[in-house]
Amino acid sequence: MLQVDSINVLYGRLQVLWNVSCDVSAHQFVTILGPNGAGKTTLLKTISGLLKPASGSITFEGEELSGLAPYKICEKGLVQVPEGRKIFAGMTVKENLEMGAYLPSSRKHFAESLAKVYSLFPILKERQNQLAGTLSGGQQQQLAIGRGLMQRPKLLMLDEPTLGLSPKLAAEALHTLKVLNETGITILLVSQEVLQSLQIAEYAYVLENGKIALSGTSAELLENTDIKKSYLGL
């Protein structure tokens, strides 16, 4: 479904990604792991069209994405939930969800999508008229995911959705992503929750210093000595 082929990405003269390649198949759950500053967010922003690669290619369902505006990429079903949630704090919960269905392709399915989001996150229905900025951190993360789902994604990319959450809420958020994947939505997850992410994902890439250091099935990486030592403290 998604193929990233040898992309190099720069901020001005500073190179952040070096020849990064990764693939995500339809209905797959893939996670990208790595320390702070490894380039994980840069990778997602480049896939989304917010950044342009200096070289290399990115294709989605066989179509080249490089050069397309972010909203055009979103229209194709590739949707990103950004780090830090980025909700509209001064708008209500429902208004935030309406923003998720802003593009015409998703607006015509608004009622159906809203019902699905409320079914997945009942607290959002209960608080639909509440200002989003007054929600708890966990509820705001549910809203950010729900807003992404309103676009009816084929592939949902999430950047650190557990950031700032308690261990219990982080586990619940990751479980929700597993449930979404089981309904047919392809997931690409960026996370520092290494153990939990590997337990729910099928395949993983480890990004270090802007380069892919390791890749393999989650089962393989869970048994990898370097992963155990560097990320799991074993």
Burial (Cβ within 10 Å: 0-12, 13-18, ≥19) of residue 11: exposed
pTM beyond 0.85: the answer is yes
CA distance 217 to 198: 9
18 has pLDDT over 60:
yes
- pLDDT tens sequence across 26-72: 999 999 999 888 999 999 999 999 999 999 999 999 999 988 999 99
pLDDT in tens, 191-205: 888 899 999 999 999
pLDDT computed for residue 95 by the predictor? 96
Residues 208 and 158 in one domain: yes
Domain closes at, from 131, 152, 173: 152
Looking at per-residue pLDDT, the higher value among 231 and 154 belongs to 154
Average pLDDT over residues 98-120: 92
The reply to whether 5 and 70 lie within a common domain is: yes
Q: From CA 214, how far away is CA 85, in angstroms rounded?
A: 28
Mean pLDDT of the chain: 93
Residue 105: both structure tokens together: 């392709």
**What's 174's domain CATH number?**
3.40.50.300
pLDDT in tens, 67-103: 899 999 999 999 999 887 889 999 999 999 999 998 8
Q: Count of domains in the chain?
A: 2
Q: Is the pLDDT of residue 234 over 60?
A: no
Contact between 5 and 198 under an 8 Å Cβ cutoff? The reply is: no
Rounded distance, CA 176 to CA 171, Å? 9
Q: Strands, E, within the chain: which ranges?
A: 2-11, 14-24, 29-33, 55-60, 63-64, 78-81, 155-159, 186-190, 203-208, 211-217
Q: Give the three-class secondary structure for 64.
A: strand
Q: At what angle do helices 110-120 and 93-100 cross, to 10 degrees?
A: 130
- The range of the structural domain enclosing residue 134 comes to 86-152
Give the mean model confidence (pLDDT) for residues 163-167: 84
Looking at the fold, whether 11 and 71 belong to one and the same domain comes out as yes
